[in-house]
Structure 1
């Protein structure tokens, strides 16, 4: 009787482990990472039209995920503004907002006016594809559309410049 219980428990554990691993493989979310081709998104922008990542093919692109309520994002804003003013003709800065309204971002821009392209990921679909877990998060995408850097947290102008100059 004791062996029958042990065999049942072992069999149940094996079936449970197999089921867990099978479910993990099947439900694994598709996302990009450093070294992968960047997902070519199409998102609404401040002007009311759409911006595609492919619009900037052949350029080094910086994607920065931010939120207007995020304290580190506010801390980072002057650094991004300086980067965009000093290097914006050489490197494209795209600011991606998750889930906020255009009006709220426009109010934010009155104080933190970074000269960049602002796009809106309302349902966080693109954020999930880029495996964004918070904000600020910054990605550097090379001229061929490959993600080369992924940085969590606020960046300074010089940190960002040191990231992008490697791919110019």
Structure 2
């Protein structure tokens, strides 16, 4: 048996090791939600034609890694642990339509007709102290057709919930334990905010925004400026960026970033299974592919027993600073200005 980890879905599949430890699955059984039919492999109305699928089929079974890649995934294999991590090969992210999702029973599209600030935070970040201030912004502007939707990038919901409860939030406060929403929006660090307009379009892409000045000496960000910009957008309809600037600043994930996320998914599953050393291997591989992705590198520290506020984090900051990799990525407050 092999385990396939794909976001919030963990599937055990009947397969045996083939060459190089690659899993080979039976041809006559469903695989990753697809079923083999005379004309190809199908899932609902979508089909992979038999001629294309023939390249991943062998007399001994289907090469699961090759099949996953044919079906539109990045796949990373841990043959020793008999596990496979998947991420989308080419996730769809455009200004024209913010990716919809459902998390904790809440759908983003439920808020169509209102402006939404998706606010990504985590208990392993000092931005956890900003959650009450985001709630204050939500309360102050909700009568103007505005909603904060906060998304905790914690790998354990139990880590995020005390901070949500302490903030006494009335806005939707979600926990993205499997990193599905963070992947959709290519969030590589927190705090990150994405503004979405009434028609479901991205009005301001991934932007480092704070709601308090607690860590201004470290991040150089002015929370009052970000609130003034938010208020201008909500009340006056001025997002501070025109359509061309939104397209220019939208960070679409690279192939290496997606492969790093596949390694991260394996790392999370392995850590939860108590296979800590194997998990560390995949964290290291993710870091090599996407050294700038603190959502992976710092976000996985608690699962591996490392203090995300301790020496390891400050060593990580120094590493990125030496490499010239920015930790915070604020966007221009107004067209033609610098942040």
- Do they fold alike, i.e. is TM over 0.5? yes
Gaps of 5+ in 1: 1-25, 45-49
For the 8 Å contact 2:154–2:160, the answer to whether it is kept is: no
What residue in structure 1 maps to residue 106 of structure 2?
51
What residue in structure 2 maps to residue 154 of structure 1?
210
For the 8 Å contact 1:31–1:128, the answer to whether it is kept is: no
What residue in structure 1 maps to residue 234 of structure 2?
164
Query: Residues 73, 65 of structure 1: CA spacing in aligned structure 2 closer, same or farther, 3 A cutoff?
Result: same
CA shift, 1:69, in A, is 2.2
The correspondence of residues 50-129 of structure 1 with structure 2, limited to 5 A, is 50-74=105-129, 76-89=130-143, 90-129=145-184
- How far apart are the structure 2 equivalents of 1:137 and 1:167? 19
CA shift, 1:116, in A, is 1.3
What residue in structure 1 maps to residue 188 of structure 2?
133
Task: Specify which structure has the bigger relative contact order, considering alpha-carbon pairs within 8 angstroms and separated by 6 or more residues.
Answer: 1
- How far apart are the structure 2 equivalents of 1:58 and 1:167? 16
For the 8 Å contact 1:41–1:126, the answer to whether it is kept is: yes
- How far apart are the structure 2 equivalents of 1:158 and 1:77? 18
- How far apart are the structure 2 equivalents of 1:101 and 1:107? 12
- How far apart are the structure 2 equivalents of 1:103 and 1:140? 27
CA shift, 1:31, in A, is 4.1
User: Residues 40-75 of structure 1: CA distance to partner in whole angstroms, max 9, x if unpaired?
Assistant: 10111xxxxx1101111111111000102211342x
Query: Aligned with 2:118: secondary structure?
Result: strand
Q: So what's the TM-score if we normalise by structure 1?
A: 0.69
Paired residue total: 136
Select the residue among 13, 22, 32 that pairs with 2:93.
32
CA shift, 1:87, in A, is 0.9
Query: Residues 80, 107 of structure 1: CA spacing in aligned structure 2 closer, same or farther, 3 A cutoff?
Result: same
For the 8 Å contact 1:39–1:130, the answer to whether it is kept is: yes
CA shift, 1:167, in A, is 6.2
